[in-house]
Amino acid sequence: MYIKLLYEFEQKEEVLRKKELRIKEIEKELQINDAVKKYNDEIAGLELALSGFNQRKHEIERNLEENESQIKNVTALLESNKLKTSKEIKAAKKTKENLLTKKEELKKSLEFIEEEIKNKKSSIEKLKSEIEEAEGSLEKFRKEQESLQREIKEESAILRKEFERLAKSIPEEILRKYEEIKENFPFGAITTVEDNTCSNCGALIPLERLEELKTGKGDRIILCEVCGKILYYPEELKK
Ligand SMILES: [Zn+2]
């Protein structure tokens, strides 16, 4: 009976310990903070590039306008009767041809720049949404951590009191021995017997021990000879 009570108490301690482990995990998750910083640096780089491309785009647009008006002028000149010699006409036609070629080149450059601007903008958007997502989960983890810390504080106080009560119902000698063994196994000094073996280390329990564990009332400390934990035979496993 005493062993059962102590075992059940240890199960509660285990629940608390799992919460403590979860807090440690969360601490790792909170390093997402670093990722957010990295994203922000990337965005700054992209924005710098973007402003360069925008500047270049305006230049090309200005060149295109200028080119357009030059084409208009030379076309008007060719349509007028101002050009007298065939040499003059030939030169004007050549000029127009060159201007048209330049126009095509400028248009291609503009297309390229516009594509780059589009790509940079979408990369920035993507990073921003990743930051948003990361910050959302940061917030979630922080909340989880806070509530776990609160729970641990409350529950460990409850458990301390519960152990004090429990200790009063257990003979001093058993309690003393239990606490001694627990020093070696702070995360649980009691282990169950399942299929005639120790659940902690898997060692087979000698027959006479097994018999004692099975028929006894669980009011004696019996150790696994291999790992040294206290053995507990749950009622539901006794056939
Ligand atoms: Zn064992």
Instruction: Calculate how far, in angstroms, residue 196's C-alpha sits from the geometric centre of ligand 1.
Output: 11
pLDDT, averaged per 10 consecutive residues of the chain (239 residues), comes to: 93 95 90 85 96 97 97 94 90 96 97 97 96 89 94 96 95 95 95 95 94 85 96 84
> Exposed, middle or buried: residue 6 (CB in 10 Å: 0-12, 13-18, 19+)?
buried
| CA of residue 159 to ligand 1 center, whole Å | 26
221 CA distance to ligand 1 middle (Å): 14
- Gap from CA of 231 to ligand 1 centroid (Å): 8
Q: How many angstroms separate the alpha carbon of residue 236 from the centre of ligand 1? A: 20
Structure confidence at residue 10 (pLDDT): 96
* Distance from residue 225's CA to the centre of ligand 1 (Å): 7
Cα of 168 from ligand 1 centre, angstroms = 28
Structure pTM?
A: 0.66
Taking the centre of ligand 1 as the mean of its atom positions, its distance from the CA of residue 165, in whole angstroms, is: 29
Compute the distance from residue 213 Cα to the ligand 1 centre, in Å.
14
User: Domains, the chain, ranges and CATH?
Assistant: 31-169 (1.10.287), 173-233 (no CATH)
How many A from CA of 91 to the centre of ligand 1? 103
CA distance 211 to 174: 20
Q: If you measure from the C-alpha of residue 239 to the centroid of ligand 1, how many angstroms do you get, rounded to a whole number?
A: 21
Residue 199 Cα to ligand 1 midpoint, Å, equals 7
Count Cβ atoms within 10 A of the Cβ of residue 233 and give its class: 0-12 exposed, 13-18 middle, 19 or more buried. Answer: buried
Q: What is the pLDDT of residue 239?
A: 65
- Interval between CA 28 and ligand 1 midpoint (Å): 33
Determine the length of the chain: 239
